[in-house]
Amino acid sequence: MARLIILLPFLLNLLVLLLVDSRLDPAKVPTMSLEVDEQDSILTSLILQADVCHAYQVLKNGGLKDENIIVFMYDDIAYNENNPRPGIIINQPQGKDVYAGVPKDYVGENANVNNFFAVLLGNKSALTGGSGKVIDSGPDDHIFIYYADHGGPGVLGMPTSPDLYANDLNDVLKKKHAAKSYKSMVIYIEACDSGSIFEGLLPEKLNIYATTAAMATESSYATYCPWMHPALPPGYSVCLGDLYSVSWLEDSDKNNMAKETLEQQYKKIKERTSVNGTYNVGSHVMQYGNVRELSSKRLYLYIGYSKPHHKGSAAHAYRQDSLPTINQEPIDQRDASLVFFWQNVGVLSPKFIIPLFDLEIKLIVCLCFPYSLFLKFQRAPEGSSRRIEARKQLVEVMEHRSHVDDSIRLVGKLLFGDDRGLEILDAVRPAGQPLVDDWSCLKSMVRSFERYCGSLSQYGMKHMRKFANLCNAGVKAETMVKVSAEVCHTFPSNAWSSLRRGFSA
């Protein structure tokens, strides 16, 4: 999936880091390929990578130079066989190509946690591949980081294993501050449960302003999906963007960043992402860090700005008007990874519960996801190998999800009993507290589970709070090993459960 983008500009002492994990990995979203190692998907990768590429264009239009922008992405969707416009990526139904000119600083296996931290700290000696560009910043520089990926409580996805954990990111930010290598920093994060990355972890004294697409206990949402208006161009059966991301990107395209403040953009993003404050769908955009002092700063300090054609032009003055309302319902980002499949199986209403009958293995599966997994199947000719493969992959992805959900629930019941198991696993700590106190314990719990039960994949990241609560309840590492082995004598052989990419922690 599209994940991490780092953009690093030096205009007006500005550094920008864009990060996106856009790997088309079978454990994230599969395609029609028959080889397991090639079962990549264009869906969620397209969403997140499109967001990141659009962010690059915003920065370029703002006057930033490529040497001051650093981009992380897997970079495998522009020329993917499922892209209806090879070499072109769009982020809006009538949008222009946002892929053109995007730097390839850290792509493929070089888009990893180690390189991300090395770049952020300006440590060239710690790099393992890539362009070699780092944030070599000083005490007068402003840094902007935009990170788009899948997420879960306390964790952000990466195109390569392991994933990025909240404590590690905040530790690196503290090191960056201690080195006096920036004046202020702004971080935008697009991910499910992204508030948990900073909740109880980001001190105000670091002089960092952060906003997240969602609070610590909820999903973020994809938008510009096939069932929405305006209609997508011919050939597209995926969601084109994320609601939080397209909100800040389109606002930045539309308005003069020399006039608009971080707080003003935050309020507009919050309104649109909550679907006009209803929260019937959508998420709670959050603020963290030094909100009190930095929220009044002008956006041009962090993302540059396009100069008006005429001095005093009304078109380039700050506009308070809200962003366009999203027509029809956006989709939970975790389920966005199923849209490509749904669109290939049948044209279905976003809220329908869809029973699938007459599968070759005589399995009946009920899906409660919006509009997604079936278009791939629908568009494949009846009786064709593509249709058979689509049906097989549909069953496998649902088998993987069911296995992860059931296995984690069973772990809780074995540890705490039938009555208290789910209550303890689902407990949410009070606001202001981090997800867990012992992050090493959390990573140990994840590795023990995956060793016996298979990969969590991006879907299973949503259960990270349950693993944290095992630590918060005092469960020992050796106990978790024993229980995981008892719960999972084996795990599904499909690509989603495979550990070929290694442990996520």
Kindly list the catalytic residues. 150, 192
Q: Are 404 and 462 in contact (CB under 8 A)?
A: no
Cβ(171)–Cβ(116) below 8 Å: no
CB 443 within 8 A of CB 468: no
**Contact by Cβ (8 Å): 44, 148:** no
CA–CA distance, 369 with 376 (Å, rounded to integer): 15
Closest CA to 344 of 400, 383, 394: 394
| Sign of the four-CA dihedral 272, 275, 276, 278 | negative
What separation in angstroms does the CA of 212 have from each of 166, 179, 347, 431?
Answer: 13, 25, 32, 15
Three-class secondary structure of residue 205 per DSSP: helix
DSSP helix/strand/coil, 268: helix
Q: Which residues contact 188 (CB under 8 A, 6 or more apart)?
A: 144, 145, 146, 147, 210, 211, 212, 248
For residue 145 the two structure tokens come to: 């980081």
Q: Taken in order 389, 394, 399, 405, is the CA torsion positive or negative?
A: positive
| Contact partners, residue 493, CB within 8 Å, separation at least 6 | none
DSSP 93: T
d(CA 336, CA 219): 11
Q: 144 CB contacts (<8 Å, ≥6 apart)?
A: 7, 9, 14, 15, 16, 17, 185, 186, 187, 188, 302, 303
Other CB atoms within a 10 A radius of the CB of residue 413 amount to: 16
